Structure 1
């Protein structure tokens, strides 16, 4: 299965992956209208300091503890990709507590969201990969 990998040596910490992710998941056609003067809720997050930066996103674990820990049954795994059913999520934050990678975060309504590899909103590679100016984020099978 293809996954997102990050080369932290190449990451500039520019946050463009976050903006491209938020736009790709906004459901809008115009980035300016979708994001200007609004808080963004990306499904990938840049962490780090002045020395090193890296993107954090879902690793789509083989045996995901977030799926088994979800009290509402909102998380499921299909063909290796972990999905969030936002209609089922009750916002209990259990998945955030158990994820060893810090890959889940609430959206503007307190409902959990995470990287789903842009499988439902764009063709080809994920938006964060397309939007990375230094090619620090790649989408490949290893």
Structure 2
């Protein structure tokens, strides 16, 4: 159903947040206003060297669509789309998304997710990404290198025991 989506090469991402800035600028142009309530549809979580990029994966069998009680999220030919008017901000989609790629804009009380900028041949976040960590790819090709490299970064976990009753986990970024 979905032919293209934005893929992430987590090891190439430097955490510069140029993609976040490009996303916000695009949303401001789209809505014709500068507004503190506009939030990026892509997030860089954490700080170097422990950071991770989140963006909607445009799942074919999207748990967020199934969880949405109002039908505000629907599967379309171009991907999972969010109807901002129908969304009531209940947060069911945010709980259902296994990638943490949908979140609530608390100021607007609405869910927020990437729509892939369907009016652009190449989304602005991809053009802004200097290390080329974001790419527009056919869905069938994504199962390869980028997923494997992202998984390697995510599962490099070291367990540290602080005492007899407590323990914590620390994630380390990979080295390419």
Q: How do 1:20-99 residues align onto structure 2 when only pairs under 5 Å count?
A: 20-27=22-29, 34=34, 38=36, 41-99=39-97
Aligned to 1:116: 115
TM-score when normalising by structure 1: 0.85
TM-score when normalising by structure 2: 0.70
Unmatched runs of 5 consecutive residues or more in structure 2: 142-176
Normalized per residue, the structure richer in helix is 2
Distance in 1 of aligned mates of 2:40 and 2:77:
23
Aligned to 2:15: 13
Task: Give the C-alpha shift of residue 67 in structure 1.
Answer: 0.5
Instruction: Indicate the RMSD between aligned Cα atoms, in angstroms.
Output: 2.1
Structure 2 CA distance for partners of 1:45 and 1:124, relative to 1, 3 Å:
same
Unmatched runs of 5 consecutive residues or more in structure 1: none
Distance in 2 of aligned mates of 1:91 and 1:39:
14
Distance in 2 of aligned mates of 1:39 and 1:70:
22
Structure 2 CA distance for partners of 1:20 and 1:63, relative to 1, 3 Å:
same
Structure 2 CA distance for partners of 1:28 and 1:115, relative to 1, 3 Å:
closer
For the pair shown, the structure with the greater C-alpha radius of gyration is 2
Normalized per residue, the structure richer in strand is 2
Q: Give 4+ residue runs of structure 1 displaced > 2 Å after superposition.
A: 27-30, 47-54
Higher relative contact order (CA 8 A, sep 6+): 1
Aligned residues: 136
Aligned to 1:138: 135
Distance in 2 of aligned mates of 1:66 and 1:28:
24
Matching of residue 128 in structure 1 with residue 130 in structure 2: no
